């Protein structure tokens, strides 16, 4: 099916998920919406996150997408199920694939989850892990400062190491062997987090797992773009929409995606 895949996030962070989707599904057309005008979602109430998520999805549906990926951990944890109920179109969030991968990975049955305040207080990661294996002990921790650090490019700085050490000490103490990066921005800080946690702890990138899950669902449902099986494969078209001036999105997007982004259009999301 040659309709595009829709991906949305509270802003630029979802590009860490889009990056994985572009790698695995290079021939798919993608419409990305980043709600940069109302970012961040992570400290907001369930009610507001649900309203924003409903508008983000309505926008993508108007673009006739065949499948929707909610790249935002916060929206996936708090709002996606409720909004998805109103649509026939299939949607996935990042929580279940991340939870699944962590449950498979852990050998000592002790898994850590880090994310925004809203993601952690929703307890959605822990619930999903317990649905898979109720014996796994889940330790959850909000690390809100990681988001601005990643956006400001504080990737390999002393300050970032100090904050990571301070945040993650408790994770260390409880002896986890697997840590879910439950926020779009955290893969950018993976090197710092890995160094602080030590080599006995495996990091799970929810975005990477979600791209894999999306591939499998599209393949099973016969929704893959026919171009995927053509040789040589033709590159899909990637269009980007944002809810504030594109000039703010563009430089960050290059860092999060690992390549320059063009075709950025501003939309008035409040109308959806």
| Sequential DSSP letters for 57-102 | HHHHHHTT-SEEEE--HHHHHHTHHHHHTT-SS-EEESHHHHHHHH
Q: Which stretch binds ligand DGL (CB under 6 A): 7-15, 170-178, 208-216, 238-246?
A: 7-15
Nearest approach in angstroms of CB 161 to ligand DGL is 21
By CB under 6 A, residue 4 contacts ligand DGL? no
By CB under 6 A, residue 73 contacts ligand DGL? yes
Active site residue 183: yes
By CB under 6 A, residue 196 contacts ligand DGL? no
Rounded CA separation 238/240 (Å): 7
Single out the residue of 5, 10, 28, 111 in contact with ligand DGL (rule: CB under 6 A).
Answer: 10
By CB under 6 A, residue 183 contacts ligand DGL? yes
Considering only residues 142 to 171 of the shown chain, the ones binding ligand DGL according to CB under 6 A are: 147
By CB under 6 A, residue 187 contacts ligand DGL? no
By CB under 6 A, residue 8 contacts ligand DGL? no
In angstroms, what CA-CA distances link 245 with 37, 85, 107, 168?
8, 31, 46, 35
Nearest approach in angstroms of CB 93 to ligand DGL is 10
By CB under 6 A, residue 39 contacts ligand DGL? yes
Respond yes or no on whether the N-terminal peptide bond of residue 231 is cis (omega within 30° of 0): no
Q: Which stretch binds ligand DGL (CB under 6 A): 39-47, 82-90, 124-132, 172-180?
A: 39-47
Out of 5, 72, 94, 203, pick the active-site residue: 72
φ, ψ of residue 158 to 5 degrees: the values are: -55, -45
* Buried-exposed string 210-225: b where 16+ CB fall within 10 A, e elsewhere: bbbbbbeebeeeebbb
Q: What is the 3-state secondary structure (H, E, C) of 95-135?
A: HHHHHHHHHHHCCCCEEEEEECHHHHHHCHHHHHHHHHCCC
By CB under 6 A, residue 112 contacts ligand DGL? no
Nearest approach in angstroms of CB 140 to ligand DGL is 13
The answer to whether 242 and 264 have CB atoms below 8 angstroms apart is yes
Out of 183, 218, 252, 253, pick the active-site residue: 183
Nearest approach in angstroms of CB 221 to ligand DGL is 26
To the nearest 10 degrees (0 to 180), the angle between helices 15-24 and 206-220 is 40
By CB under 6 A, residue 98 contacts ligand DGL? no
Rounded CA separation 235/205 (Å): 25
Q: Which is nearer to ligand DGL, 118 or 224 (CB)?
A: 118
Rounded CA separation 221/205 (Å): 25
Active site residue 70: no
Site for ligand DGL, rule CB under 6 A:
9-11, 13, 39-42, 72-74, 115-116, 119, 147, 183-185
Active site residues: 72, 183
């Amino acid at each position: 099916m040659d309709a595009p895949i829709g991906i949305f996030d509270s802003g630029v962070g979802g590009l860490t998920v889009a990056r994985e989707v572009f790698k695995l599904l290079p021939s798919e057309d993608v419409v990305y919406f980043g709600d940069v005008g109302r970012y961040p979602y992570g400290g907001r109430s369930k009610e507001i996150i649900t309203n924003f998520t409903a508008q983000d999805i309505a926008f993508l549906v108007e673009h006739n997408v065949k499948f929707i990926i909610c790249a935002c951990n916060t929206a996936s944890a708090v709002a996606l199920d409720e909004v998805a109920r109103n649509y026939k179109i299939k949607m996935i969030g990042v929580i279940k694939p991340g939870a699944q991968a962590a449950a498979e990975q852990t050998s000592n049955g002790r898994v850590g989850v880090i994310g925004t305040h809203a993601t952690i207080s929703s307890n959605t990661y822990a619930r999903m892990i317990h649905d898979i294996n109720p014996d796994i002990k889940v330790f959850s921790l909000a690390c809100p400062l990681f988001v601005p650090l990643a956006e400001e490019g504080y990737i390999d700085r002393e300050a970032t190491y100090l904050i990571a050490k301070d945040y993650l000490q408790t994770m260390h103490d409880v002896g986890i062997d697997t840590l879910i990066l439950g926020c779009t921005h955290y893969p950018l800080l993976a090197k710092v987090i890995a160094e602080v946690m030590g080599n006995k702890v495996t990091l799970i990138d929810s975005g990477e797992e979600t791209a894999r899950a999306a591939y499998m669902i599209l393949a099973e449902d016969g929704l893959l773009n026919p171009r995927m099986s053509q040789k040589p494969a033709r590159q899909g078209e990637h269009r980007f929409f944002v809810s504030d001036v594109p000039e703010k999105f563009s430089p960050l997007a290059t860092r999060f995606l690992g390549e320059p982004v063009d075709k950025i259009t501003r939309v008035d999301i409040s109308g959806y």
